């Protein structure tokens, strides 16, 4: 079952399907060591990785296992990152949330706003009951984003990642439908 990637709008953002034209900005984002310091993989060194990422985004939708969306700022149309759902399981009504934003976009509430828009779509359209997310325990800003969205820290995955020889733990967060506090802000783009 395919899962077409939606186009969503929030007050300041447009979330849209990832396109071939995004290869350059995706490479810039994922090759930035500062942005990727808490990621579960090292920064990209080869531009072909961006093309593989775009292919993987399309494959998620085609297989019906998720939707990964580019995030553009409405005021200037600039690409500032991406936000997505993966591991969508319609039988369990669950999925996993992930996002990555350019460091110039940090501290402006964009990750929270984009994720809120995507979660609204997920709970309303996919009829999810649970969304899970993980973040490196050192990534306090990402943990704050999840907590602002209503996620509850459920546990710690000890030493679950080793990137460039550095071992790290991750926090597991969960958001249950009955605990979701939707905003009236995100609306589908027309």
* In the chain, domain spans: 8-188
Thinking of the domain 8-188, which architecture would CATH place it in?
A: 3-Layer(aba) Sandwich (3.40)
Sort 162 into a burial class: Cβ within 10 Å, 0-12 / 13-18 / 19+.
Answer: exposed
Q: What is the pLDDT of residue 187?
A: 42
Task: Say yes or no to pLDDT of 1 above 90.
Answer: no
Q: How many angstroms separate the CA atoms of 38 and 17, rounded?
A: 25
- Per-residue pLDDT tens digits for 136-171: 999 999 999 999 999 999 999 999 988 778 899 999
pLDDT in tens, 51-103: 999 999 999 988 888 999 999 999 999 999 999 999 999 899 999 999 999 99
Number of residues that this document lists for the chain: 190
Say what the pLDDT of residue 164 is.
74
Rounded mean pLDDT of 121-128?
92
Q: Average pLDDT, whole number, for the chain?
A: 92
Query: 11 to each of 8, 15, 116, 158, 188, how far by Cα in Å?
Result: 10, 11, 11, 38, 11
Taking the model in full, what pTM does it have? 0.91
């Amino acid at each position: 079952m395919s899962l077409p990637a939606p186009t969503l709008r929030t007050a300041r953002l447009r979330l849209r399907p990832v396109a071939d034209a995004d290869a350059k900005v995706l490479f810039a984002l994922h090759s930035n060591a500062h942005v990727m310091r808490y990621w579960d993989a090292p920064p990209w060194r080869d531009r072909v990785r961006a093309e593989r990422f775009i292919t993987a985004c399309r494959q998620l939708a085609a297989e019906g296992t998720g939707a990964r969306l580019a995030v553009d700022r409405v005021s200037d149309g600039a690409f500032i990152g991406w936000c997505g759902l993966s591991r969508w399981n319609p039988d369990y009504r669950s999925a996993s949330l992930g996002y990555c934003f350019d460091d110039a976009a940090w501290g402006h509430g964009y990750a929270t706003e984009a994720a809120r828009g995507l979660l609204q779509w997920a709970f309303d359209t996919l009829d999810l009951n649970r969304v899970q997310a993980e973040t490196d325990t050192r990534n306090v800003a990402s943990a704050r984003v999840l907590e602002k969205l209503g996620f509850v820290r459920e546990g710690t995955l000890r030493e679950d990642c080793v990137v460039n020889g550095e071992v790290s733990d991750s926090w597991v967060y969960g958001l249950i439908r009955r605990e979701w506090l939707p905003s009236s802000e995100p609306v589908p783009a027309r």
